[in-house]
């Protein structure tokens, strides 16, 4: 986490030198969140407001003080913006514009202002695990988003509870700050060497990543499976140990989830779509198939 900067004029958690108005247009109102890489503000788009826009508020992300000093800072933020922009999906956060305040030398991008609860907050609220009626739409929505992201040639790079928010109309996967492009044309866009910024969240990192393997659809599926398992269990599961079927999870879903949770990538023989299908329907063919294999 970036240390909060006590400063008289800046909102709490803000970068010390942050002006209150960016690019003559975005009025920063308050800090929404401070992560390991950036600070996200709620801002009013004064231009849209001038035209009578009834919802002129946006979320605005800048890099944290530590990263903002680096030579490629603007490129790093642009990479996050551009990859996210290509991923139009109902369960992926929508980004609007990338800009630079040339006077302050601050690069930023704007995105939809989400209002809701992140899954790590939900985990704190549900220490006994999430009831299946609540878990199921989260599982299917998140796997739907992940399948789309992968089909577009992008790996999110940091699937974890604090990067998923429950909003009024479902959920949003956000924070593509560690995302990597795997297919053209996006590989041409993301000019950064993504491995420079490899930073795993240990609780959700597939074991092979810690041994130097590259990020892959399989490592992302592992992280997602850990997240779903934690939600079903109501807490953070110990890695490496034997995982028991969570009480909240219907038995028919467990064989597929267990395959996705395999520490050995050779045993993780399930795709995002197959896990989604197993989580989705009562008597899915996929669910039965994994159940039969598990016997």
Ligand X SMILES: Nc1ncnc2c1ncn2[C@@H]1O[C@H](COP(=O)(O)OP(=O)(O)OP(=O)(O)O)[C@@H](O)[C@H]1O
Residues annotated in a binding site for ATP: 61
Distances (CA, A) of 86 to 26, 150, 223: 24, 12, 22
User: Which residue, 139 or 159, is less far from Mg ion as judged by CB?
Assistant: 159
Neighbours of 217 (CB within 10 A): 16
DSSP per position, 55-116: --EEEEEEE-HHHHTSTTHHHHHHHHHHHHHT---TTBPPEEEEEEETTTTEEEEEE----S
CB of 156: closest distance to ligand X in angstroms?
A: 11
**Angle, helices 272-280/132-151, rounded to nearest 10 degrees:** 160
- Residue 152 interacts, among Mg ion, ligand X, none and using kind-specific CB cut-offs from 5 to 8 Å, with none
Interaction between residue 180 and ligand X (CB under 6 A): no
User: Which residue, 36 or 245, is less far from ligand X as judged by CB?
Assistant: 36
User: Which residue, 35 or 265, is less far from Mg ion as judged by CB?
Assistant: 35
Interaction between residue 175 and Mg ion (CB under 5 A): yes
Which among 56, 11, 10, 5 is positioned nearest to 31, based on CA atoms? 11
Catalytic annotation present for 120: no
Binders of ligand X among 226-255, rule CB under 6 A?
A: none
User: Which residue, 156 or 243, is less far from ligand X as judged by CB?
Assistant: 156
Residue 90 structure tokens: 């109902």
Spatial distance between the Cα atoms of 225 and 231, rounded to a whole number of angstroms: 10
> Which of 78, 81, 109, 174 touches ligand X (CB under 6 A)?
174
* Dihedral angle of Cα 85, 99, 58, 220, to the nearest 10 degrees: 40
Spatial distance between the Cα atoms of 92 and 230, rounded to a whole number of angstroms: 21
User: Which residue, 177 or 255, is less far from ligand X as judged by CB?
Assistant: 177
Which among 256, 82, 261 is positioned nearest to 179, based on CA atoms? 82
> Which of 10, 22, 111, 135 touches ligand X (CB under 6 A)?
111
Q: Which of 158, 169, 175, 273 is catalytic?
A: 158
Burial of 84 (0-12, 13-18, 19+ CB in 10 A): buried
Interaction between residue 101 and Mg ion (CB under 5 A): no
Cα dihedral sign, 258-263-267-271: positive
CB of 175: closest distance to Mg ion in angstroms?
A: 4
Residue 132 structure tokens: 């299946």
Binders of ligand X among 35-64, rule CB under 6 A?
A: 35-38, 40, 59, 61
Interaction between residue 284 and Mg ion (CB under 5 A): no
- Residue 220 interacts, among Mg ion, ligand X, none and using kind-specific CB cut-offs from 5 to 8 Å, with none
Q: What is the CA radius of gyration of the chain?
A: 20
> What track of x and - describes contact with ligand X for positions 151 through 170 (by CB under 6 A)?
-------x---xx-------
Binders of ligand X among 71-110, rule CB under 6 A?
A: 93
CB of 4: closest distance to Mg ion in angstroms?
A: 16
Interaction between residue 286 and ligand X (CB under 6 A): no
CB of 219: closest distance to Mg ion in angstroms?
A: 17
Interaction site with ligand X (CB under 6 A) = 32-33, 35-38, 40, 59, 61, 93, 111-114, 118, 158, 162-163, 174-175, 177
Interaction site with Mg ion (CB under 5 A) = 35, 163, 175
């Amino acid at each position: 986490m970036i240390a909060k900067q006590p400063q008289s004029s800046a909102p709490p958690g803000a970068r010390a030198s942050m002006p209150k108005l960016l690019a003559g247009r975005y009025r920063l109102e308050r800090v929404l969140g401070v992560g390991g890489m950036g600070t996200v503000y709620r801002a009013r788009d004064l231009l849209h407001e001038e035209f009578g826009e009834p919802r002129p508020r946006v979320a605005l992300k800048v890099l944290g003080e530590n990263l903002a000093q680096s030579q490629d800072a603007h490129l790093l933020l642009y990479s996050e913006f551009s990859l996210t922009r290509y991923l139009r999906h109902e369960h992926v956060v929508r980004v609007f514009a990338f800009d630079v305040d040339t006077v302050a030398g601050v690069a930023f991008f704007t995105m939809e202002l989400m209002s809701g609860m992140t899954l790590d907050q939900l985990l704190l609220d549900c220490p006994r695990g999430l009831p299946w009626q609540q878990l199921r739409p989260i599982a299917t929505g998140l796997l739907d988003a992940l399948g789309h992201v992968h089909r577009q040639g992008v790996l999110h790079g940091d699937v974890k509870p604090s990067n998923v928010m429950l909003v009024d109309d479902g959920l949003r996967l956000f924070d593509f700050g560690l995302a990597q492009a795997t297919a053209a044309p996006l590989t041409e866009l993301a000019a950064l060497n993504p491995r420079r910024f490899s930073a795993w969240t240990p609780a959700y990192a597939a074991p092979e990543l810690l041994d130097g393997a590259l990020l892959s659809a399989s490592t992302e599926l592992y992280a997602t499976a850990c997240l779903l398992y934690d939600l079903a269990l109501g807490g953070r599961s110990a890695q490496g140990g034997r995982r028991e079927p969570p009480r909240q999870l219907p038995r028919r879903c467990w064989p597929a989830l267990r395959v996705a949770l395999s520490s050995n990538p050779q045993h993780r023989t399930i795709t995002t779509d197959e896990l989604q299908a197993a989580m989705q329907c009562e008597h899915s063919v996929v669910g039965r198939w994994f159940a039969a294999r598990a016997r």
